[in-house]
Chains A and B, each alone.
Chain A
Amino acid sequence: MADTATGATLPQPSRGGWRILALLAPAYGWLLLTVFLPLCAMLVFSFLKTTPFGSRQPLVFTFKNYLAFVDRPYLVNVAWTSLQLGLWTTGLCAALGLPAAIALARATRGRTRQVLFLLTILPFWTNGLVRVFSWTMLLREGGLLDQAVHLVWPGAGSLSLLYSFPAVVIGLVHAYLPYMILTCYLSVVGIEDGLIDAARSLGARTPAVFTTVILPLCLPGLVSGAILIFVPVIGAFMEPRILGGRIGVTMGTVIEDQFTSAYNWPLGAALSFTMLAAVLVIFAAFSGVLRKRLAVA
């Protein structure tokens, strides 16, 4: 698209170069100051021995913060909890999101589809904190879920889901499911009816159509959805904190603690960078699929 427009809007190449620079400078200057330089600063910080709070002592560098997983064995368990949260949330989102996307794309049309589509996207725009908070009312002991169960079965005990691993998973699935529905929907909408008709006319039954036609074509959507969900979930701290209580100790909450209560910023920075490295590895591993996805969308 840009190639067709280029010639005309660039009357003089040399002046055009300056103009492009002037157009780009504010945005990238801003991002440099607020994202890229801070990331560099944090990288330096992660090698510091102590947080340089006010003191004018010379900075002492160490590699110790990156050995945290060796020095503090409990962190391995914490990382395992984060990983499990990520896997459960991503898996459940895929299991729920794909059928919903297929239903949205293939079983609805016209105005109904438009409204349903907007309804599934709307939660993107609502505050995550507000939504997590609303779950605490439903899940807590004697909460609305308990009250509802007691209406049906008065003698039942309390479910008491709040402050448990499932509660955190429920909250996270609630927060991230729309991503999966959206990415899968974009994939499913691209499938031509002819392909499915062809498979059927060749004798494929519904399960076979699903596994041999729909599922492979949805794979890019599933993968990009999974990455969009898995990456923020392993860094989540607000949901585990509110819905998990004492059980909700994750990499996210440990990092938050280093910055807000333990004031061990170098350790927090090192843990952040370990997590960032994991994120980059995930992105790199799936970059091929993602590039195709971006090209389609």
Chain B
Amino acid sequence: MIPLGRLTLALILVFLYAPVVVMIVMAFNESDLYALPLQPSLKWFTALAGNEKLIDASRNSVLIAVITAVLGTAIGTLAALALARHAFRGRSVLQLLLLPPIAIPWLITGTAMLVFFYWTGIGRGLHAMILGHVALAIPYVVLVVGTGLQGLRSDLEEAAMSLGSTPVHAFFAITLPLLAPSLIAAALFAFAVSLDQFVVSYFLATPGVSTLPVEIYTSIRKGFTPEINAVSTLLLGASVMLFLVFAVLTRMGEADERR
């Protein structure tokens, strides 16, 4: 059983990573037909530098992700404070209402936004994508910050208030600094959710204003180009970096060590 399980685990890791490794290798391969043996070359990365469309799309992607991280974290943290620190009627309903943005297939959320934004005159484009991305990020932020708040003792804040501090001052002087790792983790998560988001962006993008994943999708449907490998490799690198910082901040995978 155990050796069999280990073998499965090893095979699954090969399955999960083989295509990604292939893509990275091919980004550095001279041949545009993905022919082996490998001839190392940076030509696809240089080609990337001249591709205005992909550069514009990348700039939009990063811009949207930064705005989503800031707005999503701010808005989500406020809600998390209310949900984690206060008991009130309807709280469980409000918590349940955080699920639809995560649980409903993005295809449905995305097309619904398209219909509504078109109808109300909000329209498509950068602002519409920001509206959509922040909505998708809020539930995750509430979850991450809420978990952080649970691990935080509220008596410190009480102590500060009993010593004459106002609630607002106590929050900024005590809670916020202690919560900082959770806030950074939530912001990174929101950034990553936005950077990797394709479906919602796809329906809200206009031909002139799109994001990197949308451009990749359009390029794949037009035909294979190794430039996509190069830009995907860069995107992958960014995602992995974010993940590692997130993992360190939230001590992911360490929790079971204490058992």
Contact partner, A268, options B83, B111, B220, Cβ 8 Å: B111
**Which B residues lie within 8 Å of A26 (CB)?**
74-75, 78-79
CB atoms of B112 and A6 under 8 A apart: no
Answer whether residue B47 sits at the interface, using C-beta atoms and an 8 A cutoff.
no
- Provide the residues of chain A in CB contact with B229, threshold 8 Å: 137
* Residue from the list A1, A103, A127 in contact with B213, Cβ < 8 A: A127
B232 touches A130 (CB 8 A): yes
Residue A119 CB within 8 A of the other chain: yes
CA distance A189 to B75 in the complex (A): 34
Task: Indicate if the CB atoms of B111 and A259 lie closer than 8 Å.
Answer: yes
Given the known interface contacts A11-B167, A232-B105, the answer about A174 and B15 at a Cβ–Cβ threshold of 8 Å is: yes
Q: Contact between A129 and B5 (Cβ–Cβ < 8 Å)? A: no
Contacts of A45 in B (CB 8 A): 115, 119
Contact partner, A131, options B19, B84, B108, B221, Cβ 8 Å = B19
Residues of chain B lying within 8 A (CB to CB) of residue A127:
195-196, 198, 213, 216, 232, 235-236, 239
| Beta-carbon contact of A114 and B16 below 8 Å | no
Q: Is A153 positioned at the interface, with any CB of B under 8 Å from its CB?
A: no
Q: Does A8 sit at the interface, judged by CB under 8 A?
A: yes
Interface string of B12-52 (1 = CB under 8 A from A): 11011111101100100000001010000000000000000
Binds B, one of A35-43, A62-70, A73-81, A215-223: A35-43
Q: Is the CB of B247 within 8 A of A23?
A: no
Separation of A68 and B236 alpha carbons in the complex (Å): 41
- Of all chain B residues, the one with the shortest Cβ separation from A53 is B118
With both chains docked as a complex, state the minimum distance between the C-beta of A241 and any C-beta of chain B, in angstroms.
Answer: 7
Residue of chain A at shortest CB distance from B78 = A23
A103 near B232 (CB under 8 angstroms)? Answer: no
Structural contact, B253 and A113, CB atoms closer than 8 A:
yes
Asked whether, in the complex, the Cβ of B216 is within 8 Å of the Cβ of A23, the reply is no
- Quick check: B1 and A31 within 8 Å, CB to CB? no
* In contact, B19 and A174 (Cβ under 8 angstroms): yes
Which chain A residues in 2-43 approach chain B with CB under 8 Å? 2-6, 8-11, 16-17, 19-20, 22-24, 26-28, 30-31, 33-39, 41-42
The smallest C-beta distance from A276 to any residue of chain B, in angstroms, reads 6
- Are A275 and B86 touching (Cβ within 8 A)? no
Q: Residue of B at shortest CB range from A115?
A: B253
Q: Chain A 101-120 against B: per-residue CB contact (8 Å), 1 yes, 0 no?
A: 01110111010011011111
Q: Is the CB of A27 within 8 A of B138?
A: yes
A113 touches B134 (CB 8 A): no
Number of A-B contacts (CB under 8 A): 280
Contact yes or no, B138 A30, CB < 8 A: yes
Chain B residue, CB-CB nearest to A110: B257
Contact A17-B88, Cβ < 8 Å, known A28-B94, A138-B19: yes
Q: Per a CB cutoff under 8 Å, which of B1, B4, B86, B107 touches A10?
A: B86
Interface size class of B (residues with CB under 8 A): 35 or more
Contact present for A241 and B221 (CB under 8 Å): yes
Chain B residues whose CB sits within 8 angstroms of the CB of A242 once the complex forms: 217, 220-221
Q: From residue A42, how far is it (CB to closest CB) to chain B in Å?
A: 4
Task: Please name all residues of chain B whose beta carbon is closer than 8 Å to the beta carbon of A37 when the two chains form the complex.
Answer: 116
Q: With A35-B100, A126-B20, A252-B107 as given contacts, are A28 and B79 in contact (CB-CB < 8 Å)?
A: yes
- B contact residues around A178 at 8 Å (CB): 16
Which residues of A have CB within 8 Å of B103?
A: 231, 279, 283
Task: Provide the residues of chain B in CB contact with A177, threshold 8 Å.
Answer: 12, 15-16
Q: Which residues of A contact B (CB under 8 A)?
A: 1-6, 8-11, 16-17, 19-20, 22-24, 26-28, 30-31, 33-39, 41-42, 45, 96-97, 99-100, 102-104, 106-108, 110, 113-114, 116-123, 125-131, 133-138, 143-144, 147, 174, 177-178, 181, 189, 206, 210, 231-232, 234-238, 241-242, 252, 255-256, 259-260, 265, 268-269, 272, 275-276, 279, 283
Q: Which 6 A-B pairs have the closest CB atoms?
A: A103-B5, A235-B105, A38-B116, A27-B79, A134-B19, A23-B82
- Taking beta carbons and an 8 Å cutoff, which residues of B are in contact with A? 1-2, 4-6, 8-9, 12-13, 15-20, 22-23, 26, 34, 36, 74-76, 78-79, 81-88, 91, 94, 97-98, 100-101, 103-109, 111-117, 119-120, 131-132, 134-135, 138, 142, 150, 154-155, 157-158, 161, 167, 192, 195-196, 198-199, 203, 213, 216-217, 220-221, 224, 228-229, 232, 235-236, 239-240, 242-243, 246-247, 252-254, 256-257, 259
18 new A-B contacts, CB < 8 A, other than A20-B88, A131-B19, are A1-B150, A26-B79, A27-B75, A28-B79, A35-B109, A38-B115, A39-B104, A41-B112, A99-B4, A113-B256, A122-B243, A125-B192, A125-B239, A130-B23, A174-B19, A241-B221, A259-B203, A272-B107
What are 11 of the A-B contact pairs (CB < 8 Å)? A35-B109, A97-B12, A106-B5, A125-B246, A127-B213, A135-B19, A137-B26, A235-B108, A265-B115, A272-B111, A279-B103
